[in-house]
A = this chain, B = another copy of it.
């Protein structure tokens, strides 16, 4: 059994919940997707492997995965919630271009200490850190500049 499955089982047991076959499939699918996903994309990726798991169950399982610390919110886009598996992945910053939608990730570790200092100061137990930066990627920025030049 993989480490994340073990942790999920452990979390579920602590809550008096059961590690069922649908939940196992959903967990595996979340860890097989290596980009951000929304509930439906997760559902589709499961359908490719097995059938008879409903979208409702996917929706019901995502919060469990999050509470278990295995999955986290990613940058919202197109007005839908997006997620990513996190167990075994370092925290990172999300840079989202509002024009072309390009998503880049960079390391958050240089910033973490400063955040932890603040957390300690206010005795806050941080479970999810989300640093998302929206703006223009270098490509879209340069297109923007060209346009401004054209408009002169």
Q: Decide if A60 is an interface residue (CB 8 Å cutoff).
A: no
CB <8 Å contact, A95 and B122: yes
| Contact code string A119-152 (vs B, CB < 8 Å = 1, else 0) | 1001111111111111111100100000000000
Give residues of chain A (93-125) contacting chain B, Cβ–Cβ below 8 Å. 93, 95, 97-98, 104, 106, 110-111, 114-115, 118-119, 122-125
Q: Say which size band chain A's interface belongs to.
A: 20 to 34
Closest chain B CB from A102 CB (angstroms):
10
CB <8 Å contact, A130 and B130: yes
Q: Decide if A76 is an interface residue (CB 8 Å cutoff).
A: yes
Decide yes or no: A135 and B124 within 8 Å by CB, A111-B115, A114-B111 being known contacts.
yes
